[in-house]
């Protein structure tokens, strides 16, 4: 069974500093990895995905994530945090073609708080 | 890009009544839609996978007679919470998979259900 771990319930960072939100995964075959952001009482907004290719993926709002196969990680990063980045972030994984394109499995979410 | 419209965004109903939530793919055909439930400060729990023209596949522990899912067309799936109780109060989110993409998911904006 596939799974996602987000080890931090909350990440605090000062505006202008770099941020990292951690994610590790477990899935059979090649993973499809996603990051989503959720603002209060809203659905999920897509940030970025890794399917294949370059391990460093660039996404929306200046976010990027690095796929590390050996460490089974897909940490979300941003060089300079903004107060408006404060939100709940979800990492998700699904299996690839060999696993029949199974459903998305989400991590428990990490609340990012950026202080002015 | 792909857009999923979810309606209503908020609903308050009395115990014992039924509530219908709609999820529409606006600019693409969605052969598969997913319904999630999210508890406060918690991750998304997949409730069921709905396939156009066939019965939904429910996750373990989800009462199919209580949470009725209908996916009658390629652009519309509905979730009906029958005989609602206060413990059904939650945030419900739908997601659709673009039939032209092997990995694209788009989420609705969610429905806040409060049962009084």
Residue A67: predicted pLDDT: 96
Distance CA A114, CA B1 (A): 29
Distance CA A68, CA A56 (A): 9
**CB–CB contact B102 A97 (8 Å):** yes
Query: What is the three-class DSSP state of A17?
Result: coil
Q: Tell me the count of A-B CB pairs closer than 8 A.
A: 49
At A26, the pLDDT band (50, 70, 90 cuts) reads: very high
Contact residues on chain A for B91, CB-CB shorter than 8 A: 41
Query: What is the three-class DSSP state of B88?
Result: helix
In terms of C-beta density within 10 A (0-12 exposed, 13-18 middle, 19 or more buried), how is residue B16 classed? exposed
Q: Which of B9, B34, B106 sits opposite A103 (nearest CB)?
A: B34
In terms of C-beta density within 10 A (0-12 exposed, 13-18 middle, 19 or more buried), how is residue A7 classed? exposed
What is the CA angle B113-A11-A25, rounded to 5?
80
Which 8-state DSSP code applies to residue B51?
Answer: E
Per residue of chain B (116 residues), give pLDDT as tens: 678 999 999 999 999 999 999 999 988 888 889 999 998 777 888 999 988 888 899 999 999 999 999 988 889 999 999 999 999 999 999 999 876 654 578 899 999 999 99
First-to-last alpha carbon distance for chain B, in angstroms, is 37
Return phi, psi of residue A100, to 5°. 75, 25
Chain A residues touching chain B at CB-CB below 8 Å: 32, 34, 36, 41-46, 49, 51, 90, 94, 97, 101, 103-109, 111
Residue A97: predicted pLDDT: 59
Read off the pLDDT of each residue in A37-44 and give the average, rounded to a whole number. Answer: 87
Q: What is the pLDDT of residues A81-113, one digit of tens each?
A: 999 999 999 999 986 655 555 678 899 999 999
**CB–CB contact A43 B6 (8 Å):** yes
Closest CA to B6 of B109, B106, B78: B109
Read off the pLDDT of each residue in A67-90 and give the average, rounded to a whole number. Answer: 96
Peptide linkage before B8 cis (omega within 30 of 0) = yes
Residue A99: predicted pLDDT: 55
Distance CA B69, CA B81 (A): 9
**CB–CB contact A97 B42 (8 Å):** no
At A2, the pLDDT band (50, 70, 90 cuts) reads: confident
Distance CA B61, CA A60 (A): 36
Q: What is the mean pLDDT of chain A?
A: 91
Residue B52: predicted pLDDT: 84
**CB–CB contact A104 B95 (8 Å):** yes
Interface of B with A in 12-71 (CB under 8 A): 34, 41-44, 46, 49
Distance CA A96, CA B84 (A): 37
**CB–CB contact A41 B103 (8 Å):** no
B90 beta partners: B113
Q: CB of B111 within 8 Å of any CB in chain A?
A: no
Which 8-state DSSP code applies to residue A84?
Answer: G
């Amino acid at each position: 069974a596939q799974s996602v771990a987000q080890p931090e319930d909350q990440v605090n960072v000062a505006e202008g500093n770099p941020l990292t939100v951690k994610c590790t995964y477990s899935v059979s075959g090649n993973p499809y990895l996603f990051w989503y952001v959720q603002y209060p009482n809203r659905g999920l907004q897509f940030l970025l995905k890794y399917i294949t290719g370059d391990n460093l993926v660039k996404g929306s709002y200046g976010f990027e994530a690095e796929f590390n196969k050996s460490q089974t990680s897909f940490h979300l990063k941003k060089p300079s945090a903004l107060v408006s980045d404060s939100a709940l972030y979800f990492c998700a994984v699904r299996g690839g073609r060999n696993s029949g394109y199974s459903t998305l499995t989400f991590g428990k979410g990490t609340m990012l708080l950026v202080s002015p | 890009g792909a857009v999923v419209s979810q309606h209503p965004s908020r609903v308050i109903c009395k115990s014992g009544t039924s509530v219908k939530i709609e999820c529409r793919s606006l600019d693409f055909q969605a052969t598969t839609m997913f319904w999630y439930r999210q508890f406060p400060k918690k991750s998304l729990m997949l409730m069921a996978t709905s396939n156009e023209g066939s019965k939904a596949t429910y996750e373990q522990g989800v009462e199919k007679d209580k949470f009725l899912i209908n996916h009658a067309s390629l652009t519309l799936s509905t979730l009906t919470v029958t005989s609602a109780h206060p413990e059904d109060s939650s945030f419900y989110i739908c997601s659709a998979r673009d039939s032209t993409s092997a990995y694209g998911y788009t989420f609705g904006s969610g429905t806040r259900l409060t049962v009084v």
